[in-house]
Amino acid sequence: SATIQEIYTGVVEGDRDQVVEAVQQALNEGDSAETILKQGMMAAMGEVGRLFEEGEYFVPELLVAARAMQGGMDILRPLLVAEDVEPVGKIVIGTVKGDLHDIGKNLVSMMMQGAGFEVTDLGTDVAPEKFVDAVKTSGANLVAMSALLTTTMANMPATIAAFDQAGIRDKVKIMIGGAPVTDQFAQKIGADGYAPDANQAARLALSLIA
């Protein structure tokens, strides 16, 4: 519908007010939260990801799109729960212990939500045991860790070790990212995958649970 289209362009153009207004209007017109999420927000985040990949969008555009989507998600989240919409998967995400950088992690979280995941965001400075506990309580099948400091990267293998120790390493896929992180590092520490940016992180998450 025209209103869904407004949600779509609002997210792509990063217009938070437009998204919030149009989401409210679509609900009033009788669209389900699921329809709004899938045909409006997720489709738009897909387009944002494509523009980012083609070099037309950069981090600032991703940030405003994420903020616009967040505005709509705040309205939809309780309704999605009420509608019992099955997420494609459940992710626990956080920035590792000792590390306070969260801008990239927040983008990754938004792109994952845009791809249909239910995301539990533990924030920054997340201790290994906290990742483990969150997986136990949420039933997540994916763990996503971000690190921006070479000094805190070591807390990635420490977190993987905590999953081993808890006996649930085989219950989750673990993916990592952040500026100093590489594919090679991911392989070395026994992570299941690495993604260089938020868009590819969402795609990797989908492929890890497929």
Exposure on the CB side of residue 158, measured as CA atoms within 13 A: 14
For ligand B1M, the binding residues in 15-74 under the rule CB under 6 A are 59
Confirm if 80 and 29 have CB atoms less than 8 A apart. no
Strands (E), the chain: 90-95, 118-121, 142-146, 173-177, 193-194
DSSP code for 169: G
Tally of helices (H runs) and strands (E runs) in the chain = 10, 5
Q: Is the dihedral of CA 86, 87, 88, 92 positive or negative?
A: negative
> What's the closest the beta carbon of residue 178 comes to ligand B1M, in angstroms?
4
Size of site (CB under 6 A) for ligand B1M: 28
What is the closest distance, in whole angstroms, from the C-beta atom of residue 129 to ligand B1M in the complex? 19
Contact pattern for ligand B1M over residues 146 through 175, marking x by CB under 6 A: x-xxxx-----------------------x
For ligand B1M, the closer CB: 48 or 107: 107
**CA pair distance 28, 49, nearest whole angstrom:** 29
176 lies in the binding site for ligand B1M (CB under 6 A)? yes
Determine, following the binding rule CB under 6 A, whether residue 208 of this chain makes contact with ligand B1M: no
Tokens of 172: 């989750």
Interface of this chain with ligand B1M, residues 97 to 116, rule: CB under 6 A? 98-105, 107-108
91 is a site residue for ligand B1M (CB under 6 A)? no
Between 76 and 175, name the residue whose CB sits nearer to ligand B1M.
175
Residue with tokens 């950088």: 101
Find the binding residues for ligand B1M in span 117-146 (CB under 6 A). 144-146
Nearer to ligand B1M, 78 or 180 (CB): 180
Subset of residues 179 to 198 that bind ligand B1M, contact rule: CB under 6 A: 179-180, 195, 197-198
Verify binding: residue 201, ligand B1M, rule CB under 6 A: yes
Q: Kindly give, in sequence order, each residue whose CB lies less than 8 Å from that of residue 86, ignoring residues fewer than 6 positions away.
A: none
Phi, psi dihedrals of residue 172, rounded to the nearest 5°: -130, 150
Return the structure tokens found at 37: 């999420």
Q: Summarize as ranges the residues that interact with ligand B1M (CB under 6 A).
A: 59, 98-105, 107-108, 144-146, 148-151, 175-180, 195, 197-198, 201
